[in-house]
């Protein structure tokens, strides 16, 4: 079985694009559903608040990863 030769920018672009899409999916879930009807939390932050913080963080990281992936794919 032979090896597949792939330019590094294409491989890295694909990895970043897939990572960005997965991260955006988790972010949307965390923002829309995460923490609802759950009790607990960390100190004064409710469970819903924790999911909102995590969702926003994942949304930013996912958007940056997706943009970088598209940049690498198009360059």
Q: What is the pLDDT of residues 11-70, one digit of tens each?
A: 999 999 999 999 999 999 988 887 777 777 777 788 888 889 999 999 999 999 999 999
Is position 11 within any domain?
A: no
Is position 41 within any domain?
A: yes
Question: CA torsion 15→16→20→23, rounded to 10°?
Answer: 60
Residue 43 falls in which region: left (phi positive, over 0), alpha (psi -120 to 50) or beta: left
Is position 61 within any domain?
A: yes
Is position 7 within any domain?
A: no
Could you give the number of structural domains in the chain? 1
Q: Which residue has the tokens 């939390």?
A: 41
User: What is the extent of the structural domain holding 51?
Assistant: 16-74
Whole-prediction pTM value? 0.81
């Amino acid at each position: 079985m032979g090896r597949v030769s792939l330019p590094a920018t294409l491989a890295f672009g694909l990895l970043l694009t897939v990572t960005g899409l997965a991260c955006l999916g988790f972010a949307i879930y965390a923002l829309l559903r995460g923490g609802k009807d759950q009790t607990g939390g960390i100190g004064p932050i409710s469970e819903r608040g924790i999911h909102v913080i995590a969702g926003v963080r994942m949304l930013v990281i996912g958007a940056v990863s997706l943009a970088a992936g598209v940049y690498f794919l198009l360059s």
